[in-house]
Structure formats: C-alpha cells, structure tokens
Amino acid sequence: MNNFLTEKLSAFQSLETPFYYYDLNLLEQTLTKVKEEIVNKPYHIHYAIKANANSRVLKSIKKAGFGIDTVSGNEILKALEMGFDSSMIAFAGVGKTDKEILIGLKHDIFTFNVESLEELKILDQLAGSEGKKAAVAIRLNPNVNANTHHYITTGLEENKFGINPWELSQLFDLLAQLKNIELKGLHFHIGSQIRDLSVFKNLCNRVNELQKEFKARNISLEHINVGGGLGVNYQEPDAELIPDFKAFFQVFDDFIELLPGQELHFELGRSLVAQSAALISKVLFVKKGIKTNFVILDAGMTELIRPALYQSFHKVENLSKADAPSSHFYDVVGPICESSDCFGKNIQLAETERGDLLAIRTTGAYGEVMSSNYNLREDAKIYFHDEI
Ligand code: LLP
C-alpha cells in the first residue's frame, strides 16, 4: 500500500492521536476539476457547508469561487465570517426559526429554499416587518428514489423535506397573494451518497415536468437548484480520489431542459471534500476472542459517527504495516461505551499490534463536523498537509 497517507507516516508518529489529517492539495485539485467541468455552462456551485465547516477547507472553497448552501443561521454567519458574499448563500431546512430567518433577511441572502406553505407565509410576514423582500426558491419534493441509505434519502413523499406536488395549486395562490416574496427558482435535493447516476437523470425528468407547471402559469424562474448528493468511492478511495464530475455534469447537460437565460445551481457537499481527509488513530489494544479478534482504537464514534449511525463503510488501513500482506481479520472498534462504536467487522488487515497507526479513509465529509464530546472526550485534533 502506498498513498498520500503512507508518505506522512513518520510525521504522524510524532503526533498525539486521534486526529483528522487534511490534504488540501487534493481538495484543491478536486475543486479545480469541478470548475473545469462547468466552465462555459450556466452552472453554479454552492458548497454544502454542513459536510465540513473547517475554516481552512472553507478558504479553499472560497478561493475556487463557489457559493455556500446552508441549513442554519450559524452556517450563514460562518459563511459570512469566512468572506463569502451573501448573494451566493442559499438557506434550506424544514425548520427554520424566526431568528434564523431574520439573519438571512438581514444579509439579503441568495435564496431561502422554502420547504412548506406555512414557512412561506411566515417568511412573507417577517420580510414585511423588516421592510424587505425575501428571495425564494421553492423546494419541491419530486418523489424520486435516490437508491441510497434510507437515512439520507430526502426526495420521497414519505420524507419530511419540500413541498409536495399536490400542494402546487395552493402554492400558486399563495405566491400571487404574498407581497414580500420574490420567487427566484425551484430547489430539489433527493439524497446523499448517490453513486447510480441514472438517479440524477430521473431527477432531471421530474424537474422538467414540474417546471412546466410554472411555465403554464407564466411564472418565470431564474434558476433551478438540483441540490447535491453525488457519492464517492468509500470502498477503494485511491482508485477514485476525485469523483467522476464529468459524468455527473454530463447527465444534466443531456437531460435538464433549462429555459433561455436560466441558471442551474448545485449544492455539492460530500463529493468535494470526502476524500481529502482521513482519521488517524492509534491501536490501544488487540484483544483476542474465540471467533473474533478486536483491534481497539483510540478514535471512536465521537470522532466519526457515520459507521455507528448509518452502518456506513470506511476503508481502514494499517499505515504502520503498509507493506505487509492483509492476512488477518479483525473487528475494528473504538473505546466508547456503546456496542455500535465499531468502525467495521471482519476487516482484513496486516497483523496488527499495539501502537500501530490506522487510517480511516474518506472522512473529509460528515466526519469532523459531526463529532461530539460524548464521554467528555476532547475535540478531535486537526492537521493539514502543510503543517507536518
Ligand atoms: N443540499 C441539501 C438541501 C442537503 O440537505 C444536503 C445534504 C446537501 C445539499 C449536500 O449533499 P451531499 O452533496 O453532501 O450529498 N450526514 C450524512 C449525510 C447527510 C446529508 C444531508 N443533506 C452522512 O454522513 O452520510
């Protein structure tokens, strides 16, 4: 095994574990690839800050010229603090508080991505009381199956997100009445970690159908926002450090029917940042059982909750034994007092011993940002490629 982590092994050995290691060169190469794929197209990216709100990651995103997709007032404030222009900040979420709506209004954000008729009415009232007009994209639930984990599926009727198509006539009535709402576009987001690109083709077809309903009423839309969701290769990260953005955007080139002058917006999160980080952890103990041998790490679900929460797979590598054959099977677990604190069962690794450094790969998205201090553990430490 030889990759951007094995190169850093001797530097890693002198650091206190566990920590997230970020390779911002890889991040910047990924962002460059995205930019190359959308050049000369009416496409715009709002990075989904929920995937990773680390300031240095955000600096790279800003340098790439992307906007931001937010889901809370604090995410809006963080984006502003990092210097993102408010005209490039979208704000989604089924449960925006009045306080959060007022933050968005104060800063004249790009759009409130409105998820219910009631929210639209409240937004109109609050905008009126502030003497503002709220720029809005209506989030529609397209009822398209994302074929991904049910916890990260968002575009089905059974999900809580967006306005359902059968509410459209009520929506049109409301839009005609509300004086402080400026309709800018339509918003969709059907789920995350989508590897089957035909799902996005289905989304395009549904967007085209729904867009006709607006056109039939002479309602003009400056943009369509198709959300995020492009998946990454968790199984073999080194085989695909940069996701196939060409194929992804090609689906939209081929199937979305934009009206003249209309822009297409994307809210990519995971696909931009996931491969750029790994969680590095030390083996505390190797505990031999009758059927199972446990590798017990000093990182746990507090640093990376995805395996415990979604049974998600992250590749585990023994960096200290990079040249040895993967001849042994282990359950790789953390130290937290929860049986779900397990990074993977029956993981094939080189023979592993106390003190070895393990990398848990593809943790740049929904890793650091979802970490917690449960068991009063310390914040995860962070290192960047140019610091060590
Ligand atoms: N736009 C909206 C409205 C979203 O809700 C999301 C993610 C995104 C964009 C970005 O999606 P992405 O490109 O990252 O797939 N914690 C979960 C993922 C939750 C995703 C929530 N929404 C995980 O660790 O897999």
Does 314 lie in the same domain as 237?
Answer: no
Ligand 1: centre distance to CA 136 (Å): 20
In a domain, 178, yes or no: yes
Does 157 lie in the same domain as 242?
Answer: yes
Which protein residues are within 6 Å of ligand 1, measured from CB? 48, 50-51, 69, 92, 152, 189, 192-193, 227-230, 267-271, 306, 310, 366
| Per-residue pLDDT tens over the stretch 235-252 | 999 999 999 999 999 999
In a domain, 114, yes or no: yes
Ligand 1: centre distance to CA 375 (Å): 27
Q: Which atom of ligand 1 is nearest to the CA of 271?
A: 13
Q: Which phi and psi (to 5°) does residue 137 adopt?
A: -115, 135
Indicate the residue among 257, 273, 289 that finishes a domain.
Answer: 273
Does 334 lie in the same domain as 226?
Answer: no
Residue 166, domain CATH: 3.20.20.10
Does 378 lie in the same domain as 355?
Answer: yes
Comparing C-alpha atoms, which of 166, 155, 234 is closest to residue 188? 155
The C-alpha atoms of residue 4 and residue 66 are separated, in whole angstroms, by: 26
Residues 13-42, mean pLDDT to the nearest whole number: 98
Ligand 1: centre distance to CA 33 (Å): 21
At 145, is the pLDDT very low, low, confident or very high (cuts 50, 70, 90)?
A: confident
Return the pLDDT at 328: 96
Residue-range definition of the domain harbouring residue 89 = 25-273
Return the pLDDT at 373: 97
Task: Print the SS3 string covering the chain.
Answer: CCCCCHHHHHHHHCCCCCEEEECHHHHHHHHHHHHHHHCCCCEEEEEEHHHCCCHHHHHHHHHCCCEEEECCHHHHHHHHHCCCCHHHEEECCCCCCHHHHHHHHHCCCCEEEECCHHHHHHHHHHHHHHCCCEEEEEEECCCCCCCCCHHHECCCCCCCCCECHHHHHHHHHHHHHCCCEEEEEEECCCECCECCCHHHHHHHHHHHHHHHHHHHCCCCCCEEECCCCECCCCCCHHHHCCCCHHHHHHHHHHHCCCCCCCEEEECCCHHHHHHHEEEEEEEEEEEECCCCEEEEECCCCCCCCHHHHHCCCCCEEEHHHCCCCCCEEEEEECCCCCCCCEEEEEEEECCCCCCCEEEECCCCCCCHHHCCCHHHCCCCEEEECCCC
Does 341 lie in the same domain as 199?
Answer: no
Residue 356, domain CATH: 2.40.37.10
Ligand 1: centre distance to CA 366 (Å): 9
At 274, is the pLDDT very low, low, confident or very high (cuts 50, 70, 90)?
A: very high
| Per-residue pLDDT tens over the stretch 111-143 | 999 999 999 999 999 999 999 999 999 999 998
Does 301 lie in the same domain as 175?
Answer: no
| Per-residue pLDDT tens over the stretch 170-208 | 999 999 999 999 999 999 999 999 999 999 999 999 999
Q: Which atom of ligand 1 is nearest to the CA of 154?
A: 5
pLDDT over 70 percentage in the chain: 99
Ligand 1: centre distance to CA 54 (Å): 16
Site to substitute for ligand 1 among 186, 267, 363, most atoms within 8 A of C-beta: 267
Given a cut of 80, is residue 161 above it in pLDDT?
A: yes
Ligand 1: centre distance to CA 39 (Å): 24
Question: Using an 8 Å Cβ cutoff, are 204 and 256 in contact?
Answer: yes
Nearest CA to ligand 1 atom 23: 366
Ligand 1: centre distance to CA 192 (Å): 5
Return the pLDDT at 291: 85
CB atoms within 10 A of CB 364: 29
Ligand 1: centre distance to CA 285 (Å): 35
Does 296 lie in the same domain as 261?
Answer: no
pTM above threshold 0.85: yes
Does 268 lie in the same domain as 150?
Answer: yes
Residues 282-298, mean pLDDT to the nearest whole number: 94
Return the pLDDT at 150: 76
Site to substitute for ligand 1 among 192, 230, 360, most atoms within 8 A of C-beta: 192
The C-alpha atoms of residue 221 and residue 96 are separated, in whole angstroms, by: 23
Radius of gyration for the chain, computed over Cα atoms and rounded to the nearest angstrom: 22
The two beta strands, 316-318 and 342-349, are unpaired
The C-alpha atoms of residue 311 and residue 293 are separated, in whole angstroms, by: 20
Given a cut of 90, is residue 151 above it in pLDDT?
A: no
Given a cut of 80, is residue 152 above it in pLDDT?
A: no
In a domain, 169, yes or no: yes
Nearest CA to ligand 1 atom 24: 366
| Per-residue pLDDT tens over the stretch 321-357 | 999 999 999 999 999 999 999 999 999 999 999 999 9
Indicate the residue among 246, 273, 300 that finishes a domain.
Answer: 273
Ligand 1: centre distance to CA 354 (Å): 36
Does 173 lie in the same domain as 51?
Answer: yes
Does 185 lie in the same domain as 254?
Answer: yes
Q: What angle separates helix 245-255 from helix 198-216, to the nearest 10 degrees?
A: 30
Given a cut of 70, is residue 367 above it in pLDDT?
A: yes
In a domain, 1, yes or no: no
At 159, is the pLDDT very low, low, confident or very high (cuts 50, 70, 90)?
A: confident
Indicate the residue among 273, 299, 322 that finishes a domain.
Answer: 273
Does 288 lie in the same domain as 264?
Answer: no
In a domain, 221, yes or no: yes
Nearest CA to ligand 1 atom 8: 228
Nearest CA to ligand 1 atom 16: 366
- The total number of structural domains in the chain stands at 2
CA 250 to chain centroid = 21
Return the pLDDT at 160: 85
In a domain, 207, yes or no: yes
Mean pLDDT of the chain: 96
Does 187 lie in the same domain as 55?
Answer: yes
Q: Which atom of ligand 1 is nearest to the CA of 370?
A: 16
